[in-house]
Structure 1
Amino acid sequence: MGKQLSKQQKNAQVVPFLQDGQYYYNKGLKAYREQNYQKASKYLQKAVDLDPMDSVKLSQLATIYTDMGKYSQSNELLSYILDELDKDMTECHYFMANNYAHLGLFQEAYKCATEYSKIDPYGEFTEENEDLIDLLTMEDDDEEPFLKDPDDLILKQDAAKSLLESSQFEEAINLLEEIVEEYPEFWSAHNNLSLAYFYVGEVEKAKQYLQTVLERNPGNLHAYCNLLVFYYYERQDDKVQEIAKVLSNVHPLIFEHRYKLGATFALVGHYPIAYRWLRSLYKQGFEGDEVFYYWLSYSAYFTGNVAFAEQMWERVIKENKDKEGSEPWNVTGDAKHRVGSMTLEERLYAIFLAIQTNNLNEIQQYQLSTVPQSQLEKEFVKFALSNNDSTDDKMISFYQIANSLFVHSEQDELFLFSFRILMKLYKDNITLQNHQGWAAALDYVWRNKTNQPISQATIASQYGTSVATVGKYAKLVKSLLP
């Protein structure tokens, strides 16, 4: 005989593990209330799979996508609801307008917002919708200030982003200037253009674009974050502390803004607040890129969360094996952000000095860092790692001018001044083959500029070139002075 069932077992009910869409919907709502958006989206997706014609579940999933910053995916669901399931779910028009506004597609946002006000003038989101319309139209009372061609902007924006991410700053500048001219209210382009100019050494022009954003779009988070980075690079510590204090009191709702805030604080070495933002994004299921995990690992390590930092670094290496060797535990003391706080000319000078001392490890470490590098820097690093064995005549001349200065002077300020001028000459494709002539002219102009007057004849003699050559190149150097 088999074993007798206990009384408790006899009374127990057998419940098959077969859950319906409502079960996963409720689980998703619970995760959503806990701000675990990744888990919430997975449960809601499962609910939608089981009840594909349920517009409420689809709408809730679209809302979660919005909170995750997946605005296009959210709008795909909302469009599907209106087109295929329930055209009377009018609030979808407002949700779509809000998503389009976040994407910078203001014309589409306006269309959706006005459609909502037309078909449901007393709807649940009437007040918020009116505020959105006011925001979209406040810049121009006479004509629509919207995008001429949203698809055109999307293509150009994506192309500009790719150029920035690959450090092709000159190309990015050309495209972003085109975007700014065609879409003057598209603040993201202004911010990216400002960054591009900063990374090629044109700091004042970079600040001008940021100033435009902050004057015409006060409170723009990306602009303030970029300004914090600029002051950090310029070593204006008082300004860094001032802006960091302001930003530490900001609590954005949008994932993209939280990421920007966390990455910015990490870059300037404010690791505790950086870790708080980046860690919270990770816990909520944010699927970041290589840079996200890089800064999360750094902020974790420098706040004492070593095990988690190691775990996140595995994600970095999974995305980019070239980052091996740049782990946060391999960067110690004040050196952890030494490169990141340098101006462009200081970084070029550092690369040059590393060549002179044959310190290739330092150059390789810089090559692996997340510091954005201009095309000139990348070419200079490539030249350095080739042991000066290069077929790039332009880069050879660039180096030899600096080398000629090195033979005749040990003044750091002369080199910083010279690299500032040389990168402009390099950018403008001006011939640099007369190494001694250019070096002599740079030395001559710098000395006279810093109240160390010297004659052209004396400097020409020191560098083994003619007075006429010094005069010719000195005139060109002076034309590039601010």
Structure 2
Amino acid sequence: MQTLEPAEQQARPSNIIPFIPEGDFYYKKGVEAYRNGKLDKAMKWLNKAIEMEPTEVIYHCQKSVIFTEMGSFHKAIYILDDIIKEHGDDYAECFYLLSHNYSKLGYMHDAEKYANLYLEMDPEGDFREQAEELLTYVEAEEEDDELWTTEEEDELIMFQESAFYYLEREEWQFALPILEEMMSMFPEHMLAKHEFAKALFFSGNQKEAVRMEEEHLLSEQVSVYTHVNLAMFYHEMNQFDQRDEHLRLLRNIFPIHEEQHLRIACTFSMTGYYEDAVERFLHLDKRRVKGHASYYKWFSLAAKKAGNGAYAEKLWQEGSRRFSHLTKEDFYWLS
């Protein structure tokens, strides 16, 4: 019996050319999902587009936009930073997108900087109105901000530099009274409280240090420093489940400011996650962190444990030239 087939099927050629989608196909699917509010699906399509065409900048830009919508502002900034480093001012819209993400994180000086750069590069660009609105908002905020006088700022900087000197040398007993005075004079300065908890812990008062950071964890004042400190504290106390909870959170945090990024890198090294530590250290701008002895100390350890002893020794030697307390003879501690 003859088989009946639809006419279009009978006419179909025997040599069928398979449809192999390219990056643009996945990109359009991602944009469609994004416009429909399906952010997880949009991210999957964008990742597929990037996998097919990794050098297509527009795909990376759109991925940053999705991260922004998800509230992952640090991750968006990370992508945009990479684009600007590689392509300079070829993609002016990236400067506006950076400005927008910085504003969401509350870093208004950075937001202002990149909004101005965007308007200089593309005065009639698609984001001109948004950039101008952002600058108007920043200007109004600056006019209202009379919290600090120049004299107070100078005094705070003096305290910070004194405390930093002793903290980097792990001379906790000298750091504690300085930090205590800072907290009294500048109660809104949260970093002093985190540094005080750290110095307190390593001076032997572990219970009180943990209590302080756990209190921050339950308040609206939780920060990178809270998770960094608690990860270190629980590691030292052999409470590894609690430690890992904070490390898991830190793995998804990509700070804008190098000092915070350095803290995370050092924490991974201190807690024995050397591969994670090396990856974070390598993303740091060395020019901004070479004034920290902790950079050399904990990067050396991570590099050594990750299997690069020669690089570890090179780092340690460089650090020992910069900081007298990192002596060349002490390199043995890495073994």
Q: Which amino acid aligns with 1:323?
A: T
Q: Which residue of 2 aligns with 1:151?
A: 154
Counterparts of 2:84 and 2:187 in 1: how far apart (Å)? 38
**Would the alpha carbon gap of residues 325 and 271 (structure 1) be closer, same or farther in structure 2, given more than 3 Å must change?**
same
Matched, 1:211 2:214: yes
**Would the alpha carbon gap of residues 264 and 133 (structure 1) be closer, same or farther in structure 2, given more than 3 Å must change?**
farther
Counterparts of 1:270 and 1:165 in 2: how far apart (Å)? 21
Return the match for 2:262 from 250, 254, 259: 259
TM-fit CA distance, 1:212: 4.3
* Contact 1:297–1:328 (8 Å) recurs in 2: no
Counterparts of 2:203 and 2:143 in 1: how far apart (Å)? 33
Counterparts of 2:309 and 2:139 in 1: how far apart (Å)? 44
**Would the alpha carbon gap of residues 214 and 98 (structure 1) be closer, same or farther in structure 2, given more than 3 Å must change?**
farther
Counterparts of 1:134 and 1:213 in 2: how far apart (Å)? 27
TM-fit CA distance, 1:195: 1.0
Q: Which amino acid aligns with 2:85?
A: E
* Contact 1:297–1:309 (8 Å) recurs in 2: yes
Q: Which amino acid aligns with 2:246?
A: I
Counterparts of 1:204 and 1:182 in 2: how far apart (Å)? 25
Q: Which residue of 2 aligns with 1:304?
A: 307
Q: Which amino acid aligns with 2:327?
A: K
Return the match for 1:34 from 66, 81, 85: 85
| Local SS of the residue matching 1:326 | helix
**Count of residues in correspondence between the two structures:** 222
CA deviations over 1:195-231 (Å, ceiling 9, x no partner): 1111111122212332343344444101210111000
Matched, 1:272 2:267: no
Q: Which residue of 2 aligns with 1:324?
A: 328
TM-fit CA distance, 1:171: 3.8
* Contact 1:197–1:206 (8 Å) recurs in 2: yes
Comparing 291-300 with 281-290, which one deviates more in the overlay?
Answer: 281-290
Counterparts of 1:211 and 1:133 in 2: how far apart (Å)? 36
Counterparts of 1:218 and 1:136 in 2: how far apart (Å)? 25
* Contact 1:191–1:213 (8 Å) recurs in 2: no
CA deviations over 1:85-141 (Å, ceiling 9, x no partner): xxxxxxxxx637979xxxxxxxxxxxxxxxxxxxxxx7725337748988999xxxx
Segments ≥4 residues shifted beyond 6 Å: 96-99, 131-137
Question: Structure 1: any 5+ residue segments left out of the alignment?
Answer: 1-29, 41-59, 68-93, 100-121, 138-142, 332-482
Return the match for 2:238 from 232, 235, 240: 235
TM-fit CA distance, 1:329: 8.0
Question: What does 1:46-125 align with in structure 2 at a 5 Å threshold?
Answer: 95=109, 124=131
Larger-gyration structure (1/2) = 1
TM-fit CA distance, 1:285: 7.5
| Local SS of the residue matching 1:185 | coil
Counterparts of 2:320 and 2:263 in 1: how far apart (Å)? 22
TM-fit CA distance, 1:153: 1.4
| Local SS of the residue matching 1:281 | coil
State TM-score, norm by structure 2.
Answer: 0.55
CA deviations over 1:280-335 (Å, ceiling 9, x no partner): 2257885353321222222112112233223222212323475334336862xxxx
CA deviations over 1:136-162 (Å, ceiling 9, x no partner): 99xxxxx97657822221122222222
**Would the alpha carbon gap of residues 158 and 234 (structure 1) be closer, same or farther in structure 2, given more than 3 Å must change?**
same
Matched, 1:198 2:212: no
Percent identical residues: 23
Question: What does 1:382-401 align with in structure 2 at a 5 Å threshold?
Answer: none
Question: What does 1:122-133 align with in structure 2 at a 5 Å threshold?
Answer: 124=131, 126-127=133-134, 130=137
Counterparts of 1:235 and 1:35 in 2: how far apart (Å)? 43
Counterparts of 1:212 and 1:132 in 2: how far apart (Å)? 35
**Would the alpha carbon gap of residues 160 and 98 (structure 1) be closer, same or farther in structure 2, given more than 3 Å must change?**
farther
CA deviations over 1:395-427 (Å, ceiling 9, x no partner): xxxxxxxxxxxxxxxxxxxxxxxxxxxxxxxxx
Counterparts of 1:263 and 1:295 in 2: how far apart (Å)? 6
**Would the alpha carbon gap of residues 313 and 243 (structure 1) be closer, same or farther in structure 2, given more than 3 Å must change?**
same
TM-fit CA distance, 1:260: 0.8
Question: What does 1:164-179 align with in structure 2 at a 5 Å threshold?
Answer: 164-179=167-182
Q: Which residue of 2 aligns with 1:189?
A: 192
TM-fit CA distance, 1:261: 0.6
* Contact 2:268–2:276 (8 Å) recurs in 1: yes
State TM-score, norm by structure 1.
Answer: 0.39
